[in-house]
Structure 1
Amino acid sequence: MEGSGREDRDLDGLQEKLVEMKLTYSSALLELDRLTAEREGMRELQKATLGLLEDVEAERERSHDVQLALLNILEDVEEERNKVESTKAQLESVNQELEAFSYSVSHDLRAPLRAISGFSQAVLDDYLPILDDEGKKYLKLIQENAAHMGLLIDELLDFSRLGRHPLRMIDVNIEEIARIVFDELMAQEPARHVELVIHPLPPARGDASMLRQVMFNLFSNAFKFTRTRKDAVIEVGFIPGAEGGSYFVKDNGVGFDMMYVNRIFSVFQRLHPATEFEGTGVGLAIVKRIIDRHGGRVWAEGYVDLGATFYFTLPEVDRDGGR
């Protein structure tokens, strides 16, 4: 019986060991599965890391290519800027030479022109009784053309001086200038009926004498080309918007063909025959030169027999004290 009890105890111990071994084996399998999963995870992480590194390297190469492209663009821009600066300097030099030449030629033409005018008048004074009608006509034509040439010289001198005249920038009352100029021109043609429609005009920053010349030339232009109208109307106003807004001078005169608008601000360019409307073709060129010097723009719109409108921009007054 004693032997049988020992065997039972041995079997119980063996069973316990088997259970323990089974648990240990199960734990080992679980640990193996965990390690295997971690290993697979590490492999996936390695793959992802390698992929990321490849992407980073590719992006770095692309960034390098972009940097090279930007450097090339910057070099091209700098080269173009240098070309523009060089061209600008050359143009400024040419303009200065042309202004000096225009001034010299205009000044030198005065003496012979005075001689032509003076001698033709002397012939009329001394020999009028013996001159036939054709001779008188020729002498009158000489005097008229000499007077026209004198006007051309004066305006050419004014135009050439604009490049050398220093700008004295102040706050300018454009509305007051418009009224004064209109009154002056009306005094020269008191028999005409010209209506002035003037809208509120904000002050501008500029050279007062030059801006007065701008308004005088634009009003003179409007007076001239509305001369065929029984009831002429000149309208002056301001349109808020880009570039600080734009001033305008509008008339109901003969207008012009927009096909030739690019010629309208060029020196000695006329869109109407001198037999119909007097002038030298310099007035609007002076307007453009002055506005250009102020850093503004000037342009025109017109239609044949429906009038014309001239627009220009100027630096606006900064009411907080400064530009």
Structure 2
Amino acid sequence: MALLDHTSAVIYMRDVAGRYLLVNREYERLFDLHRADIVGLTDHDLFPRPIADDFRANDLQAIARGVPVQFEEQAPADDGLHTYVTVKFPLTDAAGAAYAVCGISTDITERKRAEEEVRRLNDELELRVRQRTAELEASTRELDAFAYSISHDLRAPLRSLEGFSQALLEDYSGDLAEEAQQYLRRIRVNVGRMAQMIDDLLHLSRATRSQLRTERTDISALARDVLAELAAADPGRRILLAIPDGLVARGDPQLIRLALVNLLGNAWKFTAYTADPLIRMSVRRQQGIDVFAVHDNGAGFDMRYASKMFDPFQRLHSSGEFEGTGIGLAIVHRIVTRHGGRIRAEGAPGQGATFRFSLAPAPAGWEI
């Protein structure tokens, strides 16, 4: 009996009729009863009927099966119902007939309460996720409507401004002073700049929200195609281009092309005043990840402002020196990060710029 009294488990024995034969000290402590007062009583004398019925049914099942059986039972305590994992097994005589059932119960109330709390928190989290998802879907619909408005509603007045200013220059130039004609030309330049900004904002939205389609992408071919378009639009330029074969990555071809349009477009633009302009691409393997780079020997930039370069509308050169909306690198940054990659800029004034980027997730602490 001393062994039974020095365990934290609740141990008891009842005969086949359900009368208590013995209980240990933990049973006495838990239910604030003395063993001398319990012996001979049944669970129906000690507990509410539903609980006592469950105890009795489990006793009979253990006796009928003749082997140890595990149950989950509940019993009242000062702070409410407690839950126990109980193993019950029959005691048999020499003839194999059961004469008693023994029970060993371990209190798992705290664990059950913790599990219930986790379930409750998960339910709350799931609800919040559903609510947040609904909010995001609503915001996405609003952004789609906004993008549609930009694409259609804002372009109409811009086309009108461009058309009428062009008509004035063509049809009434003889009646207009040179200063007036200059004003019209400035209007047309700013209309074009606004149209470009609309296009860039739409590209930024697309880079952020379009569905990512991942496949093997030939970056070399995309880069050559982009540079061919730049050369066709600016046939007077003579630039040394070096795009090696074998630049390949897994990603969304359309978004990667959009990133290259902005990176190579910047390189083309910022080498405009360079004596022997050069644009090249390269790749290196770094800790199992391909790091691509776009290099140019153009105007470069001050590294003190490198951290701001990927923010929308940030410009390191005046619009009078180099045209642009300040959105291109923000588009590139969104595309790279959507692929799980990273991007970094290096440069110096008058010494060109290098943009290194990856298009695959990297381990924590990895840097380009």
Residue 286 (structure 1) aligned to one of 308, 321, 331? 331
In the TM superposition, 1:227-306 aligns within 5 A as: 227-242=272-287, 244-306=289-351
User: Which of 181, 197, 218 pairs up with 1:173?
Assistant: 218
| Aligned-residue offset at 1:164 | 3.6
**1:246 to partner: Cα distance:** 0.8
Deviation at 1:193, TM superposition (A): 2.6
CA deviation vs aligned residue, 1:178-225 (integer Å, no higher than 9, x gap): 233223323333333311233454421111122122222211111111
Task: Classify the secondary structure of the residue corresponding to 1:249.
Answer: strand
Say which is worse superposed, 106-115 or 299-308, in terms of deviation: 106-115
Counterpart secondary structure, 1:229:
coil
By how many angstroms is 1:310 displaced? 0.5
Code of the aligned partner of 2:254: S
- Partner of 1:248, secondary structure, is strand
Task: Indicate the residue corresponding to 2:89 in structure 1.
Answer: none
- CA distance in 1: counterparts of 2:240 and 2:299, whole angstroms: 16
Instruction: Say if 1:99 and 1:163, in contact at 8 Å, map to a contact too.
Output: no
Structure having the higher Rg: 1
Q: Which amino acid aligns with 1:121?
A: Q
Equivalence map 1:177-196=2 (5 Å): 177-196=222-241
* Pairing partner for 1:107 from 149, 152, 170: 152
1:123 maps to what in 2? 168
Q: Distance in 2 between matches of 1:148 and 1:240?
A: 39
Q: Does 1:151 align with 2:200?
A: no
Q: Take 2:148 and 2:304, find their aligned partners in 1: how far apart are those partners?
A: 32
CA drift at 1:133: 1.4
What residue number does 1:39 align with?
Answer: none
Distance (whole Å) between structure 1 residues aligned to residue 350 and residue 328 of structure 2: 21
CA contact (8 A) 1:238 1:245 kept: yes
Q: 1:138 to 1:250 in 2, by over 3 A?
A: same
1:296 match: secondary structure: coil
**Whole-Å Cα distance in 2 between the matches of residues 246 and 270 of structure 1?**
25
Distance apart, 1:106 and its partner CA: 4.7
Find the aligned partners of 2:347 and 2:140 in 1 and give their Cα distance. 30
Q: Which runs of 5+ in 1 are unaligned?
A: 1-70, 317-323
The amino acid of 2:198's aligned partner reads I
Q: What are the within-5 Å matches in structure 2 for residues 3-82 of structure 1?
A: none
Q: For residue 135 of structure 1, what is the amino acid of its counterpart? A: A
The CA distance in 1 between the partners of 2:286 and 2:138, in whole Å, is 35
Whole-angstrom distance in 1 between the partners of 2:291 and 2:233 = 29
Q: Deviation per CA, 1:10-44, whole angstroms, max 9, x where unpaired?
A: xxxxxxxxxxxxxxxxxxxxxxxxxxxxxxxxxxx
Q: Give the letter aligned to residue 188 of structure 2.
A: Q
**What residue identity is the alignment partner of 1:283?**
G
Residue 132 of structure 1 corresponds to which residue in structure 2? 177
Question: How many Å separate the matches in 1 of 2:148 and 2:330?
Answer: 16
Matched, 1:311 2:356: yes
**Relative contact order (alpha carbons < 8 A, sep ≥ 6): 1 or 2 greater?**
1
Residue 162 of structure 2 aligns to a residue whose secondary structure is helix
TM-score by length of 1: 0.65
Structure 2 residue identity aligned to 1:143: R
Flag structure 2 segments of 5+ consecutive residues without an equivalent.
1-113, 362-368
Compute the displacement of 1:103 (Å).
4.5
User: What is the distance in 1 between the residues matched to 2:253 and 2:144?
Assistant: 22
- Displacement of 1:99 in angstroms is 6.1
**Greater helix percent: which structure?**
1
- Partner residue, 1:162: 207
Specify the SS of the correspondent of 2:250: strand
What is the CA–CA distance in structure 1 between the aligned matches of 2:311 and 2:344, rounded to whole Å? 12
From 261, 267, 270, the equivalent of 1:225 is: 270
Per-residue deviation, 1:306: 1.0
